[in-house]
Structure 1
Amino acid sequence: MKKLVLLGTIAAVIAAFFTFDLNQYLTLDSLKNSQEQLALWQSQSPVITVAVFFVIYVAATALSLPGATIMTLAIGAVYGLAEGLILVSFASTIGATLAFLVARFVLRDSVQARFGDRLKAFNQGVEQEGAFYLFTLRLVPVFPFFLINLLMGLTPIKTRTYYWVSQLGMLPGTLIYVNAGTQLGQLDSLSGIVSPEILLSFALLGVFPLIAKKIVAAVKKRRVYKGFQKPAKFDRNLIVIGGGAAGLVSAYIAAAVKAKVTLVEANKMGGDCLNYGCVPSKALIKSAKVAEQMRHGDQYGLEGAEPQFSFKKVMQRIHDVIAAIEPHDSVERYTSLGVEVLQGYGKIIDPWTVEIQLNDGSSQRLTARSIVVAAGAKPFVPEIPGLDQVGYLTSDTLWEELAKEDDIPPRMVLLGGGPIGCELAQSFARLGSNVIQVERNDRVMMREDPEVSVLAANALRKSGVDLLTGYEAIRCQLGGENQSEKQLIVKNPDGEEEIIAFDRLICAVGRTARLTGYGLENLGIQTERTVVTNEYLETLYPNIYAAGDVAGPFQFTHTAAHQAWYAAVNALFGEWKSFKADYSVIPWATFIDPEVARVGLSETEAREKNIPFEVTRYGLDDLDRAIADGSTEGFVKVLTVPGKDKILGVTIVGTHAGDLLAEYVLAMKHGLGLSKILGTIHTYPTLAEANKFAAGEWKKAHAPEKLLAWVEKYHRWKRG
């Protein structure tokens, strides 16, 4: 009711302003004709005149009425430059603040409630840099001030901050207009304000934001680096801590542009992806898939047969694959590229100094203009009582440990229903282990749509996995007759405890960033689940960057490499030009069989964010190549803007889904719609045709029926 009363009052005042044609008094001609009368009133009743001017100016600004420019000229003409500047400065700022408060009172809650998710990044930016944003907007009169008042009222900026920043930011523009008012008698039109002198003043106003930004940045740097002594010269241009995907790409880029760069890695070059993650898991998946195909040879006109194999040889093949790829990430290769590689632990001592404890026992200190922290992540191990007693494996340790086994463990328990857990569970089950997969949520692969989770669960069970969703791991213990049997106690969805006996237990419940041991805490660099950075990947210190899993928000090898480009380029050339990391189009895939790949929004996410969308779907059971290959399970699902072919997100389930997704990643990155995909020639018969046919389904759904009806009549007429 209060909001309605306030809006009604404002509407009534604005209506009265135009109904009684009060804007006729706020023209240049009217002002020039009244100039002598205004001067007379000022001489006879100075206090009343200034009060009237002040109140009218505040009201006009608060209600966003036209004529503020004319009033500024009038005040300049009556009071001169100094007094006029003071009067207009306070009146305009108070009026703007009132408009700001009205917008906040009436609109902010409803706008934030409806669009809060989309405005989250903007709100965070305003909280951190709101004063600077507002100051730059106020400096440039091109931006309508009434619009600034309205929009800033919807943000979390403090009223006090809004007031003083507005007063300072509007001061230069106010000075120019008040000064023009002092020359009112010489003005024939408002265009007369734009004299060469004033044009120069406005040009300077355009440069003010850049100057202000430099000043603000300098002040921030001075505050951040206070207490540290910057070296007079540096040993390196860049030091990179961590030899995984992000670290390798950062070092590579630095060497490519002829910077002097040192890469510090304590363990194996190539990081998690090469040694513990992407590479070994895909090698395992391939062996397991071949074993499964052998069992089901009858589907291809062959005799099905239970595969005979040595588990030790399977594990040896995985290590052979790692060894074959290893030279791409080796010390020798990067040394040949111009990167100095030091094997040891790097710790940041001050913003420019890294102390390296080398693996040979010696230590070394190096200084650098910039530092990139690319320390990666490690498996998260849940706090389950008794877990250490029974022993466990993670995605980091299983490859070495299981390589020691002659046979695959008969009974395996796998904790976790995410991508890593699902890939490992299916693979070990296909290789003959009795795998029980425990997931405490009600479905696996929670980041995907429910229908994808159902399909994934069916695929796991079809491969022999005993999948338990809605089960929570409670504790581990040694039990059985000799108290030597390893057991996991779980709570089922009914709240009852069950005992699961196993030979090996694998924890695959996620990964956590490596945040300690690198000196971050000593320097006050903020860490939450990851290292806190801005959009340029800068930490608290503008010369210290973070990239890859340690920086988030994604834990993919390809995003680590993507971030590394921004971190390296900004670290080396940021004083001239910095680039914001772009996460607008991030693809990912889970390599179970059939594969699950996605880019952009899922249906679930779109609904949660209240983003309108249409769904186009194409089933692979209709695709010639999929039928020939016997891999018809899956679909292509595309989300588009309603009525348009602009792609919002794509989910593909099926053989080689990760490869098929690339076409959509390209399209989304470069703003290509489904019509462009439909108009692209795809080789027949290939799985990639699924993308074209999905686009064709969209086209059918949006066929111009009325036009086609007229075309049908035309053809009928042509037939006579």
Structure 2
Amino acid sequence: MKKPVLFLVLSLAVIAAIVVLQRQPVGVETARALVADLQVWRQSHGVLVFAAFLGVYVAVTALSLPLAVWMTLAAGALFGFWQGLLLVSFASTIGATGAFLAARYLLRDWVRARLGARAQAIEAGLDRDGAFYLFTLRLIPVVPFFAVNLLMGLTPIRTLTFYLVSQAGMLAGTAVYVNAGTQLAQIDSLSGILSPVLILSFALLGLFPWIARKVVGAIRRRRVYAGHTRPARFDRNLVVIGAGAAGLVSAYIAAAARAKVTLVEAHRMGGDCLNHGCVPSKALIKSAGIAHRMRHADRYGLEPVQPRIPFARVMARVHRVIAEIEPHDSVERYTALGVEVLDGHATLIDPWTVEIAMNDGSTQRLTSRAIVIAAGARPVVPPLPGLDTVGYLTSDTMWDALRDRDAAPGRLVVLGGGPVGSELAQSFARLGSDVTQVEMAPRLMLREDEEVSAVVRAALEADGVRVLTDHKAVACGVTEGEKWIELHHDGGTRRIAFDDLIVAVGRRPRLTGYGLEDLGIATDRVVETNDYLETLYPNILAAGDVTGRYQFTHTAAHQAWFATVNALFGDFRRFRADYRVIPWATFTDPEVARVGLSEAEARDQGIAFEVTRYDIGDLDRAITDGSAGGVVKVLTVPGRDRILGVTIVGAHAGELIAEFVLAIKHGLGLNRILGTIHIYPTLAEANKFAAGAWRHAHVNPRLLAFAERFHAWRRG
């Protein structure tokens, strides 16, 4: 029998039973009469009556019928306290497990489909704490018994765990009712059983797991801090190590909350994003884009020209952009906000003490109630033989190394086919370099769908980049003054000569030199934290690239909020870091932006989806701008407008994605986007037209046929 049919049959059976019970309501007198009848049978067929009562009780609880209380009273009256308690304890738990399994079989897939990506976060939390919540609910009899059974069936809690926790959690309440049943002759109503005092007692009992959890947590913390002496008073409320995106936001929030906060930075304020990453790379991309448009000015009705590229002036502009943004992240600004900024390298001496080796040679020690590690990341340099011999550039070193060059690198090899490597390869090609991009994976941009990778590769090759995927670098060297890199591909090797080599194969968290290892904080690949961004020591937290999750500036700032609030106020309330809706963009031309699931991820996770596409080439504004390439691709729940993920490829994709980020974050479907006025002519209309494409594909054909007949009738 199919699930919908089975669900309907069971629902109708339960509804019918409830209707019958309402016509013949069960009460104390009915329970007494039942017990009197069964007492006669029990004298001659004791085992049979016990087994039959057990079976009926199991069926009643499995079907969630409102008879469990009365049958529990009857069990106490019929079998006595201990035998009745044994019967009801097992029968109620077996029946509850039956309802639990029925809900899981009939409804779980449907609920998961409706919740989509949110189901993953919910299930992760319940998988971790489901038994704890179930035990708490079982201790409070005012929580509907059947509702707990059905709701837990929709969670990932294991069946055996559900059974055992239910058996233990319901025992106290069952004992109360069974004991009352032994006095059935004196009971006038249920109110005589569940008095206000008894309800309050159960409510307090329900608090026991929470109190126990706090006590266990306190014991664990005490063990963690064993061997360390906690200061009697603290110099600071918060010390933040690192002044990149995460560190700056942490310090800002702490100062705004009027906490006494110190920000420690060994190098330059603003961190990687301002000095080595987002800001300089986007400035370079802009200059490269202008050069590209000059070459292709005929697309706009102008005379194309071959730009003369004084590379030193391009790099001077990059550094000028950095300088113009620096005041936003400067020592002066943060000092004015109330943050103490120290120039030096911080090392943890114990869980509350930070020693700072100041850049002027002095040393300072501070005690703090909480510490946030926001040390960022550095470029990964692969163990490639000969790499140090030929010399190499990274996103950290290239901006200063190339600053005074009169021309862009002549022959440039970019090692890495991710976002950074692709952005740099395209930009230098547009600025006149002969670029070869090497990627060991089968395609560029491995985190995106294959069609997106293909679009980016085609764009790079159109700009003159020689893209070599599935090529593994195995060695570097110098022969007769000429640098080369050797690549393995398809069983053979080849050498490529170059003048400069940029290594862009990823970034690794900065983990050493901060005293974390001495304190026993795990730093295998990242600074390991829990859901609240706490390390082994709850007062030491981490945010940003050091945690290894989503190495983007905006996610570093996002984590910083959680880390700082938990650091300052975690004794009263803590917040789990929320990663449900994380967008990102790659600023090649065309840009690539994504939020939520890609097609590949949805398939890998077994999530049902359908795809709606809108070709940006049909958009009026894209045509007028001469940027008519690209696509908006939206993944939705089959048959519904709820958005699972969006990928945009095209001009200003990083800006266009924001509307979908908002929609996914707040549960807004494509119909809401379709019903929103978008200014004409703008690129943002692409989002509305994508929503319109979904709506058009989901029009009911029968409704259209009826409308056609209706209008024909109206015409006469």
Both proteins in one fold, TM over 0.5: yes
Counterpart amino acid of residue 297 in structure 1? A
**How has the CA–CA distance of structure 1 residues 190 and 242 changed in structure 2, closer, same or farther, with 3 Å as cutoff?**
same
689-698 vs 521-530, which moves further: 521-530
Corresponding residue for residue 525 of structure 1: 521
**How has the CA–CA distance of structure 1 residues 39 and 704 changed in structure 2, closer, same or farther, with 3 Å as cutoff?**
closer
CA deviation after TM superposition for structure 1 residue 500, in Å: 0.7
CA distance in 2, matches of 1:690, 1:116: 24
553-562 vs 637-646, which moves further: 637-646
Q: Residues 504-530 of structure 1, C-alpha deviation per residue, up to 9 Å, x if partnerless? A: 111111111122222222223234432
Counterpart amino acid of residue 626 in structure 1? A
CA deviation after TM superposition for structure 1 residue 718, in Å: 3.5
Does 1:399 pair with 2:414? Answer: no
CA distance in 2, matches of 1:291, 1:639: 36
Q: What SS does structure 2 have at the residue aligned with 1:436?
A: strand
337-346 vs 273-282, which moves further: 337-346
Matches within 5 A, 1:128-527: 129=129, 132-141=132-141, 142=143, 144=145, 166=166, 168-190=168-190, 192-479=192-479, 482=480, 484-492=481-489, 494-527=490-523
Q: What SS does structure 1 have at the residue aligned with 2:518?
A: coil
Counterpart amino acid of residue 306 in structure 2? E
CA distance in 1, matches of 2:237, 2:417: 43
Corresponding residue for residue 7 of structure 1: none
Corresponding residue for residue 579 of structure 2: 583
Counterpart amino acid of residue 534 in structure 1? N
331-340 vs 602-611, which moves further: 602-611
**How has the CA–CA distance of structure 1 residues 204 and 123 changed in structure 2, closer, same or farther, with 3 Å as cutoff?**
same
Does 1:716 pair with 2:702? Answer: no
**How has the CA–CA distance of structure 1 residues 59 and 487 changed in structure 2, closer, same or farther, with 3 Å as cutoff?**
farther
Q: Tell me, yes or no, if the aligned pair for 1:354 and 1:367 is still in contact at 8 Å.
A: yes
Q: What SS does structure 1 have at the residue aligned with 2:412?
A: strand
Q: Tell me, yes or no, if the aligned pair for 2:57 and 2:92 is still in contact at 8 Å.
A: no
**How has the CA–CA distance of structure 1 residues 150 and 640 changed in structure 2, closer, same or farther, with 3 Å as cutoff?**
closer
57-66 vs 206-215, which moves further: 57-66
Q: Tell me, yes or no, if the aligned pair for 1:61 and 1:68 is still in contact at 8 Å.
A: no
Instruction: Find 1:550's aligned residue among 525, 529, 546.
Output: 546
TM-score by length of 2: 0.86
685-694 vs 169-178, which moves further: 169-178
Counterpart amino acid of residue 555 in structure 1? Q
Q: Tell me, yes or no, if the aligned pair for 1:597 and 1:652 is still in contact at 8 Å.
A: yes
CA deviation after TM superposition for structure 1 residue 667, in Å: 1.7
Corresponding residue for residue 690 of structure 1: 686
Q: Residues 645-681 of structure 1, C-alpha deviation per residue, up to 9 Å, x if partnerless? A: 2221111111111111111112222222222222222
CA deviation after TM superposition for structure 1 residue 714, in Å: 3.4
The sequence identity of aligned pairs, in percent, is: 61
Q: Tell me, yes or no, if the aligned pair for 2:89 and 2:170 is still in contact at 8 Å.
A: no
CA deviation after TM superposition for structure 1 residue 686, in Å: 1.5
173-182 vs 144-153, which moves further: 144-153
CA distance in 2, matches of 1:660, 1:31: 67
Aligned residues: 691
Corresponding residue for residue 594 of structure 1: 590
TM-score by length of 1: 0.86
CA deviation after TM superposition for structure 1 residue 465, in Å: 0.4
Corresponding residue for residue 666 of structure 1: 662
**How has the CA–CA distance of structure 1 residues 101 and 452 changed in structure 2, closer, same or farther, with 3 Å as cutoff?**
closer
CA deviation after TM superposition for structure 1 residue 612, in Å: 1.9
Corresponding residue for residue 676 of structure 2: 680
Corresponding residue for residue 652 of structure 2: 656
Q: Tell me, yes or no, if the aligned pair for 1:130 and 1:157 is still in contact at 8 Å.
A: no
Matches within 5 A, 1:556-635: 556-635=552-631
Q: Tell me, yes or no, if the aligned pair for 2:72 and 2:88 is still in contact at 8 Å.
A: no
Q: What SS does structure 2 have at the residue aligned with 1:394?
A: coil
518-527 vs 458-467, which moves further: 518-527
578-587 vs 330-339, which moves further: 578-587
CA deviation after TM superposition for structure 1 residue 551, in Å: 1.7
364-373 vs 197-206, which moves further: 197-206
589-598 vs 126-135, which moves further: 126-135
CA deviation after TM superposition for structure 1 residue 610, in Å: 2.0
**How has the CA–CA distance of structure 1 residues 531 and 145 changed in structure 2, closer, same or farther, with 3 Å as cutoff?**
farther
Q: Tell me, yes or no, if the aligned pair for 2:440 and 2:470 is still in contact at 8 Å.
A: yes
Q: Tell me, yes or no, if the aligned pair for 1:89 and 1:171 is still in contact at 8 Å.
A: no
Q: What SS does structure 1 have at the residue aligned with 2:308?
A: coil
CA distance in 1, matches of 2:147, 2:301: 75
Q: Tell me, yes or no, if the aligned pair for 1:172 and 1:205 is still in contact at 8 Å.
A: no
Corresponding residue for residue 635 of structure 2: 639
CA distance in 1, matches of 2:123, 2:666: 27
Q: What SS does structure 1 have at the residue aligned with 2:690?
A: helix
706-715 vs 408-417, which moves further: 706-715
CA deviation after TM superposition for structure 1 residue 217, in Å: 3.1
Unaligned ranges ≥5, structure 2: 1-9
CA distance in 2, matches of 1:638, 1:116: 14
CA distance in 1, matches of 2:86, 2:408: 85
